[in-house]
Amino acid sequence: MDVKILGKTYAVKSEYDEQFALDTAGLVDRRIRELSAKVGPVSTERIAILAALNFAGELLQMKQKSKDRDQALVHKLSRISKLLESMDKNK
């Protein structure tokens, strides 16, 4: 399948469906264009690296938030379990 980023066509293979690949390429294209507008004229390689760092930072933040939510959920489930155990003992 072909996707377009910065007006260039790239042949890509994806384990996901075609629309997902097109949406992903569209996201990359928009991010690169946004960064280009902010930083001004730089090489395509440099702007691609900035975009990759941007995406990686967002991914790491989402992973940390997910980990924090998981830990909070485990803590709450532990409290509920202890509460249920104490209720069983009081029967």
For 15-57, write each residue's pLDDT tens digit.
989 999 999 999 999 999 999 999 988 999 999 999 999 999 9
> Tokens 């009081």, residue?
90
* Rounded Cα–Cα distance for residues 3 and 18 (Å): 10
Output the six-digit token pair for 15: 């384990």
DSSP 8-class letter at 55:
H
- To the nearest whole number, what is the mean pLDDT of the chain? 93
Output the six-digit token pair for 32: 């690169």
Q: Is 38 exposed, middle or buried (0-12, 13-18, 19+ CB in 10 A)?
A: exposed
Output the six-digit token pair for 22: 């097109």
pTM, to two decimals: 0.72
